[in-house]
Amino acid sequence: MTPSITLLKKLSLLLVLIFLTNIAIADTADGKKIAFDRTKGNCLACHAMDDGDMPGNIAPPLLAMKARFPDRAVLKAQIWDATVKNPISMMPPFGKHQILTEVELENLLDYLYTL
């Protein structure tokens, strides 16, 4: 194998990596948008999080999500329909009631795990 081909291989690998991380960053950026958008997640209405301005204090701050929800499925279930765990929970059932789409929910989860 000539050195130029190895270099080319390395470069293309790098390109693929950049491409993939960009997708990941794009996902969490979308997730943040969904979280902050008043017509979507509107998480700030109740939760303090990230650099969100004037958050509500109805529910606990969203931080250390990896430690608090090691199982992604558990966090997803909570966002999907919080009334399963607590029948009078004030948290809207974002998945069950079609407030967010499946894709939006996954993007939101990606973002929440960066907190």
Partner 1 sequence: MKIKTILLPLLLTLICSTAYAQTSSEAEQAIQSADKLWAATITAGHEWNTIKPLVAQAKQALKTNDFSAAITLANRASEQSVLALIQAEHEKTNWVNNLPK
Partner 2 sequence: MKSLFNILVVSLLLALSSAYATPEQDKETFQNFYTEMFPDISLEGFGDGVYALDQDARDQWEAMNDFPPYEEDLEEGEELFNTPFSNGKTYANCFENDGKNIRQNYPLFDTKQNKVITLELAINNCRESNGEELLRYKKGEIAKLSAYMTYTSKDSLINVKTPDSKEALAAYEAGKQYYYSKRGQLNFSCANCHTQNAGRRARSETLSPALGHPTHFPVYRMKWAGFGTLQRRIDSCNKQVRAQPLSGQSEDYRNLEYFLTYMSNGLPINGPASRK
Which residues of this chain interact with partner 2, rule CB under 8 A? 44-46, 54-58, 83, 88, 90, 92-93, 97-99
Answer with the entry of partner 2, partner 1, none that 57 interacts with (C-beta below 5 to 8 A by kind): partner 2
Q: Which stretch binds partner 1 (CB under 8 A): 22-30, 57-65, 91-99, 107-115?
A: 91-99
Q: Is residue 3 near partner 1 by the rule CB under 8 A?
A: no
CB neighbours (10 Å) of residue 20? 10
CA triple 90-95-101, angle to 5 deg: 135
Examine residue 39 and tell whether it contacts partner 1 (CB under 8 A).
no
- Which of 14, 17, 96, 103 lies at the binding interface for partner 1 (CB under 8 A)? 96
CB of 54 to partner 1, least distance (A): 26
> What are the φ and ψ backbone dihedral angles of 51, each rounded to 5 degrees?
-100, 25
Instruction: Tell me whether residue 37 or residue 52 sits nearer to partner 1 (CB atom).
Output: 37
Binding flag, residue 10, partner 1 (CB under 8 A): no
